[in-house]
Chains A and B, each alone.
Chain A
Amino acid sequence: DTAVSQTPKYLVTQMGNDKSIKCEQNLGHDTMYWYKQDSKKFLKIMFSYNNKELIINETVPNRFSPKSPDKAHLNLHINSLELGDSAVYFCASKAGQPGPAFFGQGTRLTVV
C-alpha cells in the first residue's frame, strides 16, 4: 500500500503552459507539504497545509497555487511554467505532532 502517492511521476512540458501535480496520502495525517528539490539535491519547503488550511507559504511565486480539497489530498497547480521551474517536486505528509514527514516518490518536472 502506497502511503504518499503523486501523479504524474514525470512531466515534460513547454514554457508558458499550465500543469498540475496531484498528491494523496492514506496515512490519516493532518499535515501535508510540497517540497522542491533542485539539481543539487537541496529540499526546500514550498507550502504546508494542516487540515486543508494553508499554514506555510515559503515565498513561492504566485504562479504556484496549492489546493487541498480534503486533508488526504494536496494538489499543486503551476501557471505559465518557466525554465527555472524544472526540478523534482515532492509531496509529504506528517501526523499532527512535531516529527518526521513521509514523502512521495516525486514528480520530475522538465520545462523545455
Chain B
Amino acid sequence: QKEVEQDPGPLSVPEGAIVSLNCTYSNSAFQYFMWYRQYSRKGPELLMYTYSSGNKEDGRFTAQVDKSSKYISLFIRDSQPSDSATYLCAMFDTGFQKLVFGTGTRLLVSP
C-alpha cells in the first residue's frame, strides 16, 4: 500500500466546471502539504503549499487540509482547457526529511 493514495483518473470535465482532486495518507509524520501541476513532458510545478488544517486560496485554486482525517483536497474553480495536466499531491515526511508524492490525477478539461 502506497503512503499517499490518489485516484489516477483520468478526470474529464467541461470548461467552467469546479474540479475536486483528493489525496489521503496514513502517516502522522506528514506535516506539510503541496500540490504540483505537471504538463506532459515537463517538470512538476508547485501550485499550492500549506501546513495548517483549513483552506488556503490562490486565485482559482483552493487547497484544503484536514489533518484529523488525513485528507487533502485541491479545488479548481472555473476550470480552463489550460488546466489539463496531471496533478500531484505531495507531503513532507518530517521523520525521514523527504517529499512523498501521490500517484497523480490526470485532469482533462474540454472546451
Contact = CB atoms under 8 A, between A and B. Distances in A.
Interface string B33-45: 0101010011111
Contacts of A33: 98-99
B42 A106 contact: yes
A65 B86 CA distance: 30
Given A42-B101, A48-B97, A98-B94, A105 B42 contact: yes
A33 B96 CA distance: 13
Interface of A: 4, 33, 40-45, 48, 55-56, 58, 90, 92, 94, 98-106, 108
Contacts of B99: 33, 45, 92, 94, 100-101
Contact of A40 (B34, B41, B97, B103): B103
Given A103-B44, A106-B43, A45 B98 contact: yes
B45 A103 contact: yes
Contacts of A104: 43
Q: Which of A43, A103, A108 has the most CB of B within 10 A?
A: A43
Nearest to A56: B98
Contacts of B86: 41
Main secondary structure on A side of the interface with B: strand
Contact of A98 (B8, B31, B42, B44): B31
A40 B88 CA distance: 12
A98 B31 CA distance: 9
Interface string B91-111: 010101111110110100000
Contact of A41 (B90, B98, B103): B103
26 contacts: A4-B43, A40-B103, A41-B8, A41-B86, A41-B103, A42-B101, A43-B88, A43-B104, A48-B97, A56-B96, A56-B98, A90-B43, A92-B99, A98-B32, A98-B92, A98-B94, A99-B92, A100-B32, A100-B34, A100-B90, A101-B90, A101-B99, A103-B36, A103-B43, A103-B45, A106-B41
